[in-house]
Structure 1
Amino acid sequence: MKHFDAIVIGSGQAGTPLAKKLALAGKNTAIIEKNVVGGTCINVGCTPTKAMIASAGAAHAARKAGALGIEIGEVKVNLKKIKERKDHIVSSFRGSSEKGLESTEGLTLLHGEASFTGEKELLVKLNDGTQEKMTADLIFINVGATPTIPAIDGSNEIEYLTSSSILDLEEIPQHLVVIGGNYIGLEFGQMFSRFGSQVTILERSERIMSREDEDVSEAMTKIFEDEGIEIVTDMKINKIEKSDQITIQITQGNEKRTLKCSHVLVATGRTPQTKALQLQNCGVAVNDRGYVTVDEKLRTNVEGIFALGDVKGGPAFTHISYNDYTIVYRNLFEKTNYTTEDRPMPYCMFTDPQLGRIGISESEAKEKNLNIKVAKIPMSEVARGIETNETLGFMKAIVDTDTKQILGASILAAQGGEIMSVLEMAMEGGITYDRIRYCVFAHPTYSESLNNLFMKIED
């Protein structure tokens, strides 16, 4: 049985840099990956989807170029070429990540599936058919999550798509039904609509993006519907059948409807990949959904075993996974005392316009009875938006009436993620909204209109 100082299970955005750092710190380290290096983000998440969204955005920009005085003929979308470009980018990122692991002295990369056989003991079924047993003083779990498939009558009769498999399509679906009206479903729905698919989005809640403020949901609904995307909310799927087409029977309110489509994308959340780990053999606790339970320093209930990234639950974002790595490493080797408590939680949905979010929402602030003021400005009043013909959406910020600190922001706008990041930096630095109101920004930029945003607040 081999013994390592440290073993990292999973090569995602926490596992890969952590394994390299451990090895460079002099720890004899192994990193185990059952599929391909890079985790969700590089292979089936951020990198491929944003590459394809760029193609969809180019097609959309070409179609609306007439408003800017640019005449373009018929816009043709070649999904096979889009996929080839995406695959090249993914291969490049993955190859660089794998090379970095293989070239790190003191680090062993193993391709296989790990399961616990004891508290600090692992059995690794290698992809070449052999097995290895190993132990370690420190073990870090970074196995991520996989698309959740809800129990729907008849779903097993069709070859439904997931957020992973849809990336391999080479022909544009005639009619794509997306089950799930949140971030993943909306990004793919708009993308394939712009590629040329008829798109219907099904959401069981009363509105899409139910975790966001109602005005954000309403604005995004209108944007999608104006692009020809059908959104069906407050509905239940009764049955799916397959003949020459896929038939979906739903109930919306008190009415029953039948939808016919060519493809179905299931985008209803993600499930932690903890089953294969056999965590009962090492005593690591999980919650009722299978997520590994950790404390504020990402420690499990078993000393020396940590969990990082999506597998521990909470917001499933690449940047959070990477921050998990920095917390764990610095606490272990730099003797710091960092925790996950009160860390900023920025995120961006890469629809067009983007939704950049940071801090508390307006509805959350009201639920907590906070003394707030709300600043809001439509993008149709933003000079840069008018100049670039990007006037959809709005900027909104929540501020504390007494301290004038910025508590949160929802930026539904072109480059919304970048504008949000400016406000996040202000929040991190304790810069109050009245200072931003009179701050000198370069003209004409989107961020410059933060002046006008905070002028909406009457002191």
Structure 2
Amino acid sequence: MATNYENIIIGSGQSGTPLAVAFAKAGQKTALIEREHVGGCCINEGCTPTKTLIASGRVAYLVRKGPDYGIHTHTPEHKTHVNMAMVDMLKVRQRKRDIVTSFRGGSETKLKDAGVDTLVGEATFVDKKTIQYKDNGGNVKTVQGQNIFINSGARPAPPFLEGVAFLDQKLVLDSTSIQELDQVPGHLVVIGGGYIGVEFAQLFSRLGAKVTIIQHGKQLLPREDEEIARMLQDIFEEDGLTVLLKSDPVRIAPSSTGFTLHYQANNSDHAIEGTHILFATGRIPNTDMLKPEAAGVKTDKKGYIATNEYLETSSPSIFAMGDVKGPPSFTHISYDDFRILRSNIVSSSSSLTSTKLSVKDRIVPYVVFTDPQLAHVGLHEGEARTKFPDKKIQTAKMPMAYVARALEMGESRGMMKAVVDGDSGLILGFTCLGVEGGEIMSTVEVAMIGDVPYQKLRDAILAHPTLAESLNNIWGFLE
């Protein structure tokens, strides 16, 4: 016998949990199916734990930088470089676990208080209205829903490298397992120079590991403007990381110290010894076990669920949200997906307007939590020139060394870059590689949302000395 619901949500990520709560509070019988932990990737394996770990890495960095500020944690004749002996990884890891548990508990409480039926198990479509899942006791249960919402997320792509199966698998890491290390690696080799790769590379370098990044492309962070990516690489190399561009791993084999990785660069073969290897080469959608085809839900060649601008799939009354529908894969995008569905479905019955919200033309911000942070919103320069070939596109670039507050903090590495429509003055895009870059970027994003031209920021009275005050000055570099 199937249990019937008005709404079934598959996955408790940053769309699924608040949507389930909204439905339940609206008096609709709602179930949420979660196979592992409430809270989704963000709380359990993504934003919350990684930024907690990065905070520990920053403290280690500041300990090492103490003498630059006249602060000595040891007598001056002793080295102040942070090494593995000074890092208690068990404490670092436990702090991360405690914060994750706290956040997860908050999500569980919200679901319970709202009256959502939380069902634990792996969901599989039977047809357009029917889902089966296997509970903790191994029993197969069946549920049916008038509306079904897929928020099943994504997971790290498995490593594809000759010889990796012959390694001690404790040395082979992905973005989830690396967070459970109980000691700092001797030499961490990171395969992939994207957002995930660079964050973990810098983190473990700051905790005392030797770190090498092997990146296929010509720059770190391929989506970013070349000068921004180059500056981040310079910062990494200044801090002791090794960055190998235009390099490809070929095979790996066990060695007495861990492994030998053979890679190719500049049409020649090279080898490097390491103790741990992190594969940060992308993520894949959690749709294989879901069997969306049984419900008539179409996916692309990578397995991501296809949706229209209203998050509707190819099957009536089935919607998809968050990472499972493909990039951009950010928590705040997933949460915005929730807002769209809440407005269009939950609130539509009481709304006086028929206007539907959609994903069309939404402004997308993001932050790479390196230190300094790399924050961006809107269009990159190349994107703006391609999208608006007839517009007068101007750019402004300013080093963070021109920002008084950054100099006073002793954190002046990086730069800011703005892209504007030279005729209207509207800001089309903004990047900040700098201390608290995400906060500076967010100020610019608010201006973009309100169609505020750059001249208003240029002429605004911004408190001195703040980082945001730099938004008075960058426009003097427009060209």
Q: Could you tell me the TM-score, scaled by structure 2's length?
A: 0.94
Quick one: which of 357, 381, 385 aligns to 2:376? Answer: 357
| Partner SS state of residue 57, structure 2 | helix
1:194 and 1:428 map into 2 onto residues whose CA distance is 37
Q: Counterpart of 2:100?
A: 90
2:199 aligned with 1:187, yes or no?
yes
Q: Counterpart of 1:346?
A: 365
Q: Is the 8 A contact 1:34 1:127 kept in 2?
A: no
1:367 and 1:203 map into 2 onto residues whose CA distance is 26
Q: Is the 8 A contact 1:299 1:307 kept in 2?
A: yes
Counting only pairs closer than 5 Å after superposition, residues 242-391 of structure 1 correspond to structure 2 as: 242-244=254-256, 245-335=258-348, 336-368=355-387, 369=389, 370-391=391-412
Q: Counterpart of 1:413?
A: 434
Counting only pairs closer than 5 Å after superposition, residues 86-165 of structure 1 correspond to structure 2 as: 86-105=96-115, 107-158=116-167, 159=169, 160-165=172-177
Q: Is the 8 A contact 1:294 1:312 kept in 2?
A: yes
Q: Counterpart of 1:221?
A: 233
Counting only pairs closer than 5 Å after superposition, residues 227-242 of structure 1 correspond to structure 2 as: 227-242=239-254
Quick one: which of 205, 209, 229 aligns to 2:221? Answer: 209
1:279 and 1:435 map into 2 onto residues whose CA distance is 49
Q: Tell me by how many angstroms 1:457 deviates.
A: 2.6
- Where does the alignment leave 5 or more consecutive residues of structure 1 unmatched? none
Q: Counterpart of 1:402?
A: 423
Percent identity over paired residues: 44
| Partner SS state of residue 284, structure 2 | strand
Superimposed CA distance per residue, residues 260-301 of structure 1 (whole angstroms, 9 cap, x where no aligned partner) = 100000101100000001112111000000000000000001
1:331 and 1:57 map into 2 onto residues whose CA distance is 42
Tell me which moved more, 146-155 or 78-87: 146-155
CA RMSD of aligned residues (A): 1.0
1:46 is aligned with what amino acid? C
Superimposed CA distance per residue, residues 168-211 of structure 1 (whole angstroms, 9 cap, x where no aligned partner) = 00100000000000110000000000000000001111111111
- Where does the alignment leave 5 or more consecutive residues of structure 2 unmatched? 75-79, 349-354
Could you list the structure 1 runs, at least 4 aligned residues long, displaced by more than 3 angstroms after superposition: none
| Partner SS state of residue 277, structure 1 | coil
Q: Tell me by how many angstroms 1:64 deviates.
A: 1.0
Superimposed CA distance per residue, residues 4-37 of structure 1 (whole angstroms, 9 cap, x where no aligned partner) = 1010000000000000101111110000000011
Q: Counterpart of 1:72?
A: 73
Q: Is the 8 A contact 1:11 1:32 kept in 2?
A: yes
1:139 and 1:119 map into 2 onto residues whose CA distance is 9
Count residues in correspondence: 457
2:358 is aligned with what amino acid? T
Superimposed CA distance per residue, residues 38-97 of structure 1 (whole angstroms, 9 cap, x where no aligned partner) = 100000100000001001001101111212111222442111101011100000000111
| Partner SS state of residue 121, structure 2 | strand
2:129 and 2:110 map into 1 onto residues whose CA distance is 27
Counting only pairs closer than 5 Å after superposition, residues 4-15 of structure 1 correspond to structure 2 as: 4-15=5-16
